[in-house]
Amino acid sequence: MSVESLIDLKKYPVNNPNSIHYRNVILQVQNELAEDGCSVLSSFLSSKGLEYIAQEAEERKDKAFYSESKLCNVYLAKGNPNESEDHPQNIFMERSNGFITADLLGLGTYSYMLYHWIPLRRFLAKCLSKDELYIYEDPVSNMIVNLCKPGQTFNWHFDTNEFTITFLLKGAESGGYFEFVPNLRSTSDECFEEVKKVLDGDRSRVKRLNLRAGDLQFFLGRYSLHKVTHNTGNTDRLLLIQSFTEVPGIVGSPERVKDLYGKTTKVHQGKLGKLNRNDQLLD
């Protein structure tokens, strides 16, 4: 099966950048991202593409890594002893999901083919209003599957990256909803008071998406607080996550990669992790 056949090219002609439809889709995504930092292209994957990529994830579920640290704050970082116990940095919540790491989805898989397909990367860059996107060179975490089994969740958090690209491969029977609070913090302000309101149960700004298998989601998760609610059904939720950078040579910090994914490689040895930052926000 060719990489082109993984995508519904009639709806989303990512290999035809000169078409009017191509430009209209990009404009749609850009407008939606400007509004609330989120945009969804429904049924982006073809039926066969979804079937094959989901099957790859299903076959590797038994190799998923579950972190020993079952609690985390919204910054996926350590607490701050200089702040009060009820400060957002010191509020820790359940994180029970697992990850199928990139090294398990290597050369020869459809997931790998899709991630490395240049026309798709150029399309994603235009949607995100970026000049160019590069493959995230972290061999453990550049392309992963978030596995949320029945009863599991990934609670409120901000992302390390400015944006994420995700494909829902399989939804939960019930629960497992993606919820987010658009633009809760900015490049210059952590907005701790607003974060605390959400953690205390204020849902006045919370949005919930009803994603379907095959959907492509763009999300500016560095500024928008978000979570996956508890999977209350009897089936697993599978989400393919593709990470890109705006400059080449970026890898994750060994400490973060080890905690989230359970392993590091020679690429990580002796490195603090090259981070692509346009802000001084907490991770």
Output the CA–CA distances (angstroms, integers) from residue 10 to 15, 18, 45, in the order listed.
10, 14, 11
Strand ranges in 136-184 using DSSP code E only, listed in sequence order: 143-148, 154-157, 164-170, 178-181
In terms of Cα–Cα distance, which of 187, 191, 159, 158 is closest to 278?
187
β partners of residue 237 = 148
Domain ranges of the chain: 10-261
Residue 269: band (very low, low, confident or very high) from pLDDT cuts 50, 70, 90: confident
Predicted local confidence at residue 271, as pLDDT: 59
Report the share of the chain in percent with pLDDT over 70.
96
Q: What is the mean pLDDT of residues 219-229?
A: 95
Q: Residues with Cβ < 8 Å from 23, sequence gap 6 or more?
A: none
When the candidates are 3.30.70.1520, 3.40.50.11030, 3.30.70.860, 2.60.120.620, the CATH number that belongs to 10-261 is 2.60.120.620
Predicted local confidence at residue 254, as pLDDT: 87
Amino acid at 8: D
Where on the phi/psi map is residue 87: left (φ > 0), alpha (ψ -120 to 50), or beta? beta
Which is more confidently placed, 222 or 280? Answer: 222
Report the share of the chain in percent with pLDDT over 90.
84
The DSSP string of 214-225 is T-EEEE-TTTSE
Q: Rounded to an integer, what distance in angstroms lies between the CA atom of residue 24 and that of residue 17?
A: 11
Residue 259: band (very low, low, confident or very high) from pLDDT cuts 50, 70, 90: confident
Q: Rounded to an integer, what distance in angstroms lies between the CA atom of residue 199 and that of residue 115?
A: 34
